[in-house]
């Protein structure tokens, strides 16, 4: 007669249910709700966890316990499923303890599963930026004293550094400089919240931008058609003319921008609107540069970009003449 070893006891299952603080509490995946309802026990050490009111409303009983790894493994004995809601972004003490037990080889471990109950949507980290900017504005001695006017130079500097990163083809630098430009937007919007007469927030800024993008892209969000970039530009200019009710195609062109860019922008506005305006003639290099900028714009060349490229080549030549190693 052959003897059979007794079947081993089922070891059960531990589910670490993570949720994103960037998603409204209670918005969990269907698999998360199924797991919560089917679990033998649901544990959460934090009695103020934002998900708890919604779990109670859904009929899920939550025990406010903070088990260590040994206790949690024991709670799964007999094939039970225990769901744990980690505190904050995760419970390192618990996960490290489970990892040590699993690595020891001395304990029959339950199945371990990390289940995301909710996922960040694209752009979710912008919510973190709102919170961080708000705290920095309130608590930093330098940041709390800044004004729109005092920050103007930084916006200009960051924009130029972004241009430099793009032209250099440095992807890592590009990502950083985009962040610095984004910081300026959030910084100004946070300051604007404090205006006693006309306050607005980053949500107002984003809302206006969304409305503008939809309004100025009728070929995407409406019934109009656009087959070429020129068609899109024509849509854009027509919509802007109606919105702004400008008297001249030159209205809205910032006169404080660099001279070559200003000349090209004016020439482009006149050409797009079919305004027959002769270039002014006069003595001096300024008129010569104006003619060069207008000609470049008509050929689809950005004169500022072209001049910077030539200037970088000139800089390299100067460094070579000085005997300085190339960068």
Q: pTM for this structure?
A: 0.70
Q: What angle do CA 15, 41, 59 make, to 5 degrees?
A: 105
222 compared with 40, residue with greater pLDDT? 40
Place of tokens 């919510």: 127
Residue 165 has pLDDT above 70, yes or no: yes
- For 122-215, CATH gives 1.10.287.1080
Burial of 122 (0-12, 13-18, 19+ CB in 10 A): exposed
Check whether 17 has a pLDDT greater than 90: yes
Cβ 82 vs Cβ 13: under 8 Å = yes
pLDDT tens, residue by residue, 75-118: 998 999 999 998 765 577 888 888 888 888 788 899 999 999 99
Residue 84 in tokens: 């744990």
Say whether 122-215 and 13-116 share the same fold. no
**How far apart, in whole angstroms, are the C-alpha atoms of residue 229 and residue 151?**
35
CATH superfamily of 13-116: Tetrapyrrole methylase, N-terminal domain (3.40.1010.10)
Domain boundaries defined on the chain = 13-116, 122-215, 271-327
C-alpha gyration radius of the chain: 31
What pLDDT shows up at residue 1?
44
Q: What is the pLDDT of residues 25-78, one digit of tens each?
A: 999 999 999 999 999 999 998 899 999 999 999 999 999 988 788 889 999 989
| 145-160: pLDDT as tens digits | 999 999 999 999 999 9
Q: What integer is the mean pLDDT of 182-195?
A: 97
CA–CA distance from 58 to each of 26, 34, 52, 294 (Å)? 9, 11, 10, 67
Confidence of residue 6 (pLDDT cuts 50, 70, 90): very low
What is the spatial distance between Cα 289 and Cα 292, in angstroms, rounded to a whole number?
A: 5
Position 5 scores a pLDDT of 39
**Six token digits for residue 107:** 């304990």
| pLDDT tens for each residue of 229-280 | 888 877 777 777 777 777 788 888 888 888 999 999 999 989 888 888 999 9
Helices (H), 120-246: 125-139, 148-168, 171-192, 202-215, 218-221, 229-244
């Amino acid at each position: 007669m052959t003897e059979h070893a007794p079947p081993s006891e089922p070891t059960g299952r531990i589910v670490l249910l993570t949720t994103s603080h960037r998603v409204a509490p209670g918005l969990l995946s269907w698999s998360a709700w199924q797991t919560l309802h089917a679990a033998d026990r649901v544990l959460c050490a934090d009695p103020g966890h934002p998900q708890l009111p919604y779990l109670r409303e859904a009929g899920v009983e939550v025990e406010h316990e903070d088990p260590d790894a040994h206790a949690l493994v024991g709670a799964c004995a007999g094939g039970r499923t225990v769901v744990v809601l980690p505190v904050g972004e995760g419970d390192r003490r618990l996960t490290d303890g489970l990892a040590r037990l699993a690595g020891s080889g001395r304990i029959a471990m339950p199945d371990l599963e990390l289940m995301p109950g909710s996922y960040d949507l694209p752009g979710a980290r912008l919510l973190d930026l709102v919170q961080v900017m708000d705290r920095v504005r309130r608590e930093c001695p330098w940041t709390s004293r800044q004004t729109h006017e005092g920050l103007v130079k930084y916006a200009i500097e960051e924009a130029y550094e972004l241009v430099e990163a793009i032209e250099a083809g440095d992807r890592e630098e590009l990502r950083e400089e985009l962040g610095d430009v984004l910081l300026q937007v959030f910084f100004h919007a946070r300051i604007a919240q404090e205006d006693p007469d006309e306050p607005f927030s980053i949500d107002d800024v984003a809302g206006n931008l969304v409305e503008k993008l939809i309004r100025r892209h009728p070929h995407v969000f409406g019934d109009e058609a656009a087959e070429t970039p020129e068609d899109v530009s024509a849509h854009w200019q027509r919509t802007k003319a109606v919105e702004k009710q400008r008297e001249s195609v030159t209205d809205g062109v910032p006169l404080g921008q660099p001279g070559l860019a200003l000349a090209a922008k004016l020439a482009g506005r006149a050409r797009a609107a079919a305004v027959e305006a002769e270039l002014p003639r006069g003595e001096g290099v300024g008129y010569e540069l104006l003619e060069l900028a207008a000609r470049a714009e008509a050929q689809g060349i950005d004169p500022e970009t072209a001049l910077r490229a030539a200037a970088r080549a000139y800089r390299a030549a100067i460094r070579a003449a000085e005997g300085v190693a190339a960068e």
